[in-house]
Homo-oligomer: A and B are copies of this chain.
Amino acid sequence: MQFSRDQSETLIEIMKWRRDVRHFSSTPIPEDVMTRLGEAMELSPSVGNSRPWRVLRIRDEDRRARVSELFERCNKEAAASYTGEARQEYLKLKLAGLREAPEHLAFFTETEPQEGRGLGRQTMPETLFYSTVMAMHTLWLAARAENIGLGWVSILEPGELAGILDAEDSWRFTGYLCLGYPTFTDAEPLLHRKQWQSNKQSVWATR
């Protein structure tokens, strides 16, 4: 299988227009689109082919409200760690769209999967979590290509979140995703545009 220059440029365009979305319309995502996103996620890499991601789709209004409240509390605590102007800047940022987003997906990692038979993770057990992260990133890109916005919420206390969602004991919370149609699209990261943190070019060093 050989990909063309046009195809690789399409991938780059999708990556350029992927954003962490916090401004959602409440329009539902059609079920066939959600199915396609799930199918795309199955193509993700994982250590030893262990596929340790465990996905909960949160539909219960009470649980969704409790997750939003947990975010609001954790975000208030985070704001309190800044002082002066930085705190004012922080408080102006919209860091999640939990109340508006039509879809909430909670990602956990199974820490003791049978699948994969331990391959590839004896010196680096954290590769299980890394596998879940790549599945989330796969979903993110697939969502963008379907013109759906996705926002990753990490301002949540993992143990409390697992409790709200009745997660299995062997699962560990890895990240919470909001999905929905974005109210605008942008090629520039929000934190860059809002002058919280500019895009800083990486350096590759040689050894």
Contacts and interface: CB of A to CB of B under 8 A. Distances in A.
Nearest to A93: B119
Interface in A4-31: 7-8, 10-18, 20
A1 B17 contact: yes
A95 B122 contact: no
Contact of A196 (B49, B152, B198): B49
Contacts of A155: 120, 122-123
Nearest to A34: B204
Given A3-B145, A154-B127, A207-B63, A117 B196 contact: yes
A157 B125 CA distance: 11
A199 interface: yes
A41 interface: yes
Contacts of A157: 123
Interface centre among A3, A74, A156, A206 (most CB of B within 10 A): A3
Contact of A154 (B1, B15, B17, B121): B121
A67 to B, nearest CB: 10
A122 B191 contact: no
Nearest to A70: B123
B58 A207 contact: yes
Given A43-B15, A205-B57, A49 B192 contact: yes
A70 B108 CA distance: 32
A18 B45 contact: yes
A121 B92 CA distance: 18
Given A51-B200, A123-B158, A134-B137, 10 more contacts: A3-B17, A11-B141, A38-B202, A42-B202, A45-B140, A45-B152, A51-B202, A106-B207, A116-B191, A117-B197
